[in-house]
């Protein structure tokens, strides 16, 4: 089970964490990956400059509402093997 954690703190919220969360929810549903990916939220990770911060398991990535699909295809899908 992979865990994707999206920062929903003040700064990331203003940079679009809601759109990132909804984008990931839609992509997970479309690819039938609800059994393989757990999506969660977290408050501030202390890296506001690089928001929206997203953790894939323990590794941190910067994602924006525009790049969420690219992030899903290039980072999330390959890691599922």
Partner 1 sequence: MRTNNLCADIGYMSINHAGESLCGDHVEMIETEDKPSTVIVLADGLGSGVKASILSTLTSKIISTMIAAGLRLEDCVETIAATLPVCSVRGVAYSTFTIIRIVNNRRAEIIQYDNPKVILLRGGENYEYPVTQLDIGGKHITRADIALQEGDIFIAMSDGVEHAGVGIRYNFGWKRSDIIEFMKTFIPVGFTAKTLTKILLDECDRLYDGQPGDDATVCTVKIRPRVQVNMMFGPPADRSDTNKMLSLFFSKEGKHIVCGGTTSTIAAEFLKKPLVPDLEYLDPEIPPTATVEGIDLVTEGVITVSRVLEYAKNYTGSNSDYEKWSCGQDGASKIARMLFEDATDIDFFVGRAVNPAHQNPNLPINFNIKMRLVEELSEQLKAMGKKVKVGYF
**Separation between Cα atoms, residue 52 and residue 63, nearest integer Å:** 5
Tell which positions 17-76 bind partner 1, by CB under 8 A.
Answer: 17-18, 21-22, 25, 39-44, 46-49
Query: Interface with partner 1 includes 14 (CB under 8 A)?
Result: yes
- Residue 22: CB minimum distance to partner 1, A: 8
Q: Residue 61: CB partners within 8 Å, gap ≥ 6?
A: 53, 54, 55, 71, 75
Query: Interface with partner 1 includes 13 (CB under 8 A)?
Result: yes
**Separation between Cα atoms, residue 66 and residue 17, nearest integer Å:** 11
Point out which residues bind partner 1 (CB under 8 A): 6, 8-11, 13-14, 17-18, 21-22, 25, 39-44, 46-49
């Amino acid at each position: 089970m992979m865990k994707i954690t999206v920062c929903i703190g003040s700064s990331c919220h203003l940079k679009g964490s809601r759109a990132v969360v909804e984008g990931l929810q839609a992509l997970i549903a479309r690819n039938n990956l609800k059994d393989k990916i757990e999506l969660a939220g977290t408050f501030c990770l202390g890296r506001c400059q690089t928001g929206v911060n997203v953790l894939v398991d323990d590794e941190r990535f910067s994602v924006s509402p525009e790049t969420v699909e690219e992030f899903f295809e290039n980072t999330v899908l390959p890691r599922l093997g």
